[in-house]
Structures are given as structure tokens and as C-alpha cells.
Amino acid sequence: MKKNILLLIIGGLMFSTCSTKTDTGSNPFYSEYDTPFGTPPFSEIKLEHYMPAFTDGMEQEQNEIDAIVSNSEAPTLENTIVAMEQTGELLDKVSHVFFNLNSSMTNDDMQAIAKELSPLLSKHRDDIRLNDKLFERVKAVYEQKDDLQLTPEQKMLLDEYYKSFVRGGANLDETKQDELREINKELSLLTLQFGENILKENNRFEMVIENKENLAGLSEAIITAAAETGKERGHEGKWVFTLHKPSLIPFLQYSEKRDLREKMFMGYINRGDNNDTLDTKAILSKMAALRVRRANLLGYKTHAAYVLEENMAKNSENVYQLLDKLWKPALAVAKKEFKEMQALIDAEGKKFKLEPWDWWYYAEKVKKAKYNLDEDMLRPYFQVENVRKGAFDVATKLFGITFTERKDIPKYHEDVTVYEVKEADGTHIGILYTDYFPRASKRGGAWMNEFRAQSNMDGKEIRPVIVNVGNFTKPTGDKPALISFDETITLFHEFGHALHGLLTDCTYPRLSGTNVPRDFVELPSQIIENWASEPEVLRSYAKHYQTGEPIPEELIEKIKKSDKFNQGFATVEYLAASYLDMDWHTITEAKEEDPLKFEDKSMSRINLIAEIVPRYRSSYFRHIFAGGYSSGYYSYIWAEVLDADAFQAFKETSLFDQKTALAYRTHILEAGGTEDPMVLYKRFRGAEPNIEPLLERRGLN
């Protein structure tokens, strides 16, 4: 079973003996897609197609596994490891479509299917990795690996399969394997429930404003967007603000109504913590305890030890060491930022102490005072279509690749745009979907995923189909989508992930693209962010949506001068969440903790100041309780050490130096997970990364 599918399937895979047969002729999953480049025919895929394809896909894969096990020939890399890599084609196909759409186009019926699937998929995956006869064959190949003259990629594939069996419980006795199965099954359902609750929390909150005086401080664009949201939600003639970031953040930045800022902020940080049917505290507490039980069963002291063994960090001590190294200077800078804002409050004659819901508002005031810069000055220059083209142009200048919109390729929503990606000589690379605007059916945040992974087994070249998803500011009234500079950086970030998925050049899908350790996967996304704010690049894509004029030099200079502004806050809120993640997953006792008390203790230990709340509180920390980042949220800052150092390679030559770009493409993007990430990084950079560029970038040195 390919690793990339496991990232899509929450809780793993499973086989059911109860196969629900279907009319395969009417189900698009059972035949080759009759579309350009074999992209999913979304309009032909119906709800009733999913379960039969999943059930038959699991049965087919189990039959393929049985054939490998019953092979009378001695185990070899080809007849065991590569044969496993070639199983599950139908299951892969339906999984990629279903789990992508369940994130971006979900509904009650999709969620019901997901709940039905979760225990089935969990059992299927356990049936494979707990198959003792299959493990005997894998182990037999693994034990002779030094004599097989394997390529680095073959060796990595063998290592990955062997470790997946051992880490999946293959060495446990039958009783412990049964216990592991139950834990995996329960975790898969809890993970699903956590994500569903937070999606519903995001959608149900609304602050309805009837009195126009309560809009004081907000720009015309923000007010127009709120009016449109009001109309959409059945509050005609009123203004509605929601917890979706394009609504929440501008309100916190500009609203002069402190009580309303507090209401919005508290609505945001209390998601999953309202002691009602959507409360997540019991769910996450149980998940943390189950993860300890699973880790202990597999021979690890903590869940973090189990996870980090596979990452660059290797152990929790190394993670805490990095966090500690950054925490002290970041907290010191944040305290200085707080004093600046409190001084401004005092100077205004206000008689209150700055609270968390005031930070965004007064940070914006300080920024305006110090740099004569605010978001409303920048937005007209960041039309989403121009920003996307700016990202594409960076890739073209670095790697020679091109992006051509294709209107003949099916898409799953009208907001989606589809591009064919080609080499400079016209050779097809892959397909990229972009889906940028929020909707009730889409979970929050931004991400990259794939509808099909790249591979090249047995000379059969499979080209990738990639998707970038965001929740950026939508068009309002007669204005196009004018996004914030932070949203611009996020668009570039996810595009960096897309490049990793598109430009990979590997034999096996398990090792291609973003199938790399969690704390390495953010390098390709974060390094591309650097180009977004480079003056040379800004001039090329940041153009006024009405006049087409490039962003003025004075604004570029202000952006440059303010690039370290509020970095104490940004670093502290991020690090606080990273500590919280690590604390939850270095628990050694499998007992259910009180999340509120646990979180208070965690934040007290690092002396988090009261004016800052962790970027994610436990109750809505989707990354670690409904995503793949448990014991891994630190990865962004770990990878930022890499990306800051890696970008220096371009700064030391030139922004689009072709030799450096080729080395980066070859050793990082194309290589996927075929070798140890530090080996790949040193091959590109010539040495291990230095932390100084990161400290300099964030103004923490």
C-alpha cells in the first residue's frame, strides 16, 4: 500500500469480506478515466459510487496480497516489495478522490460515508501489516539487503516497507495485535469526529451587526464582504462576520469596537471548548491516551518517540532543544512589542490593559505609526490571479516550466482553475488545480494534496495530478479577490508544496513527491515564500487591480522595513502551539488528562505571557488531532532553519541562478523520499544548515 494514500486515509486501511458488488459499467472508478490526462471525471462521480469502489478495492488489494504470500518462489525485492507497491490500484483511485473532496466539498452524506469507511479501512490496513506470512517474506528480503546491490531508492523502499511492518505491530503476539487493532480502529473514528466538530464550529459562529456604528474602523471592502455574508446567511441588510480567516483577521485588525473584537476572538479560541455536542475535549484527551497505549505496545515510551524516530529530529529532546533555543529571544521580543502597544493605549488615554483580542488591532496601529503601512494600502496590489501568476513566473524563471490553463479538464467546483504544467520544451509534467476561496463545505486552512501521485514502475510513467486549496479573501461587489500579504505568502507556500508533487521524479509512488519526513516536507513550501517578498518579484506581480500599475517603490520599501515587525508575537504564538503538541505527545502514562488543566500547565511551564494565546489551543488543534502533525507541529520552524539557509544559496549568487535552481530541483524536488533528507540537503547545499539565517530573518538575534 502506497504511503501517499495513507496520508489521505485517516486511520489506515482495511479489508472487508462483505463485498458490495456494483454495476461496474456505470461506476467511473472501475475503468480508465476518459478525460484529458486521466484526470477525475468529477461530474460523473456520484455518492453511490464510493462505497462499492472502496469495498471492491479493498478486496482486490487483499487478493493481490494473498498472491504475494502464496508465491512459491523465494522472496525477492521484485516479487515481494515491488509487488506490494503495485497493489491497490482501485483503492488508490477512489481514495484520492473521496478524501480530497471530503476536505473541500463535504456534506452530511460524505461524512456518513467517511464514518462507515473509517473502521473498515483501519481493519484492512491492519490485516496487511499484521499478516505474519507476508512479514516473513519482507523480513527475508530485508535481511539480505546488503548482498542485493540495491540502488539508493530500492534500499529506501525496502527499509520503508520493513519499518512499516515492525512499526505496525508485526512483531507483537496475537493478543497484543488484537489490542492494537482496536486502538487503531478507535483512533480512526475519533480523528474523524474531531475534524467534523471543528468544521461545524467554524461554520456555525456568526456575529450579526445591525447598527452601522458598530462597523467603525472597518474598510469599505470589509463592510461589503460582511454584507454579502449576511445575505448568504439569511440576514439581508445586516453585516455578518464569521470565524473564517478572511472575515476574522481584518475585523480584529481594524474594528474600533473592543467588545466586538473580544466576542470574535473568544468565539475563535473557544472552538471545541463550549461544553456542547461539538466539544472536542473528551475526544482529544482519549486520543492522547490511546496514542500512549499504542506507543507502549510497540515498544516506545511515548507517542513522540514513535513518531520522531522517522523524522529528521529523531527524538523529542532534539525538538525541545530547538524550541528552547528560539523561545527565550522570541519571548523577549514579544514583551517589547507588548510594551509598545500598551504605551500607545496609555497615550490614547485608555484605562485598560492590552488583552489578546487587542493585539491585532494595536499591532496594526503601531505598524501604521512606525512604517506608515497597513493592509488596506497593500490589498489593491494583490489580486489573487496576479499573485498566482507571480508564483507561476517564479517557477518558470527557476526551472523553465510553464502553466497553461485548461478549460477542457473537469473540475469539482466553479471556483477551481485547472492548469497543465509543462517543461520548457513542451513535455507534459502534470496537472495543477487551484481552489482558493472559503465555503461551508471546505475545512479551514490551506493545503496541497494529490489526485494522483507520480511514479515510473516497469517503464509505465504516471504523471502527477496536484491540488492547492486555500481559504483566501473572496471577490466582493464589483471588486476582484484582493488578498492580504499574509494570504499571498500562504499562496506561495502551498505552491511550493505543489512543485514538490509536480517535479518529483521517482520510480515508486511510496517515495515520490511529498512522501518525505514531516519535518522535511515544509522545506519546499517555505523556501518559495522567500521570492514572494523580494522586490524584483513584487514588481512583476503586485499590480494595482484598477490601473495595472506595479506596486510603488515606497510600498516595497515599507514592506522590507517592516518584515521583522510583530515577529515576536508570530514566533511566540507558533512556538507555544509547538510546545503544546510536544507536551501532549511526551505523556508516558495512558490516562485521559483534563485538557484545560493540561494546557494551562504546559503554557505556565514556558511562561507564556497572558496577552498571547497559542496559535492553536488543544480543542481546535486540527494539525495534531485530525491531521498528520502529531508530534510534528515543530516541523515548520525546523524546516525554516533549512529554508532560510537554503535561500542563502540563491542570495549568495542571484535570485534565479540557474545552477543553484538545477541543484535544488535535482536534489530536493525530484528526489522525493528516495534518500535520507539530510543527505539530500547536504548534496544541494554542501553542508548542514546553519540556524543564523533564521534568527536574522525573524529579528531574534
- pLDDT tens readout for residues 534-581: 999 999 999 999 999 999 999 999 999 999 999 999 999 999 999 999
Higher pLDDT, 693 or 529: 529
The 10s digit of each residue's pLDDT in 598-649 is 999 999 999 999 999 999 999 999 999 999 999 999 999 999 999 999 999 9
**Domains of the chain with bracketed CATH:** 3-171 (1.10.1370.40), 205-269 (no CATH), 281-373+567-625 (1.10.1370.10), 380-561 (1.10.1370.40)
Give tens-digit pLDDT for 143-198.
Answer: 999 999 999 999 999 999 999 999 999 999 999 999 999 999 999 999 999 999 99
Name the least confident of 18-22, 409-413, 690-694.
Answer: 18-22
Phi, psi for residue 227 in degrees, rounded to 5: -65, -40
Please compute the mean of the pLDDT values over residues 75-101 and round it to a whole number.
98
Confidence of residue 2 (pLDDT cuts 50, 70, 90): low
Q: Is 286 exposed, middle or buried (0-12, 13-18, 19+ CB in 10 A)?
A: middle
Best CA proximity match to 667, nearest among 552, 539, 531, 516:
516
Question: Does the pLDDT value for residue 11 go beyond 50?
Answer: no
- As given in the structure block, the three cell numbers for residue 570 are 508570530
CA distance 648 to 644: 7
Residue 693 clears pLDDT 60, i.e. is over it: yes
pLDDT at residue 419 is higher than 90: yes
| Spatial distance between the Cα atoms of 195 and 252, rounded to a whole number of angstroms | 25
H or E, element range at 282: helix 281-297
Contact 28, 49 (CB under 8 A): yes
CA dihedral of 10, 11, 17, 21, whole degrees rounded to 10 = 0
- The amino acid that residue 222 corresponds to is I
DSSP assignment, residue 145? Answer: G
Query: What distance lies between CA 43 and its chain's CA centroid?
Result: 27
What mean pLDDT comes out for the span 339-360? Answer: 97
Average pLDDT for the chain: 95
| Percent of the chain whose predicted confidence (pLDDT) is above 90 | 94
pLDDT given for residue 18 in this prediction: 33
Q: What stretches of 210-290 adopt beta strand conformation (E)? A: 239-241
Among residues 59, 375, 450, 494, the one annotated as catalytic is 494
Contact by Cβ (8 Å): 189, 115:
yes
Catalytic annotation on 136? no
Res. 689: pLDDT tops 80 = yes
Evaluate the CA torsion angle 677, 678, 680, 685 in order and state its sign. Answer: positive
CA gap 1, 84 in Å, rounded: 6
Mean per-residue pLDDT, 388-407 = 98
Per-residue pLDDT tens for 501-523? 999 999 999 999 999 999 999 99
pLDDT tops 60 at residue 479: yes
What pLDDT shows up at residue 23?
62
Measured CA to CA, the distance from residue 287 to residue 298 in angstroms comes to 16
Q: How confident is the model at residue 4 (pLDDT cuts 50, 70, 90)?
A: very low
Give the residue from 620, 621, 639 showing the smallest Cα distance to 630: 621
Q: Do 595 and 601 meet the contact criterion of CB atoms below 8 Å apart?
A: no
pLDDT in tens, 303-324: 999 999 999 999 999 999 999 9
C-alpha cell at 308: 520522531
CA distance 554 to 562: 12
Burial 633-669 (b: 16+ CB within 10 A, else e): bbbbbbbbbbbbbbbbbbeeeebbbeebbebbbebbb
For the chain, what is the radius of gyration of the CA atoms?
Answer: 25
Of 585, 700, 684, nearest in space to 634 by CA: 585
pLDDT of residue 12: 31
Spatial distance between the Cα atoms of 330 and 326, rounded to a whole number of angstroms: 6
CA distance 324 to 575: 9
Please state whether the predicted TM-score (pTM) of the whole model is above 0.85.
Answer: yes
pLDDT-based confidence at residue 10 (cuts at 50, 70, 90): very low
Average pLDDT (233-262) is 97
Q: Are 179 and 130 in contact (CB under 8 A)?
A: no
- Other Cβ atoms within 10 Å of 41 Cβ, number: 15
Q: Report DSSP state, residue 634.
A: T
Cell of 249: 483577521
- Across-strand partners of 452? 465
Q: Is the pLDDT of residue 291 over 80?
A: yes
Give me the percent of the chain exceeding a pLDDT of 70.
Answer: 97
Q: How confident is the model at residue 9 (pLDDT cuts 50, 70, 90)?
A: very low
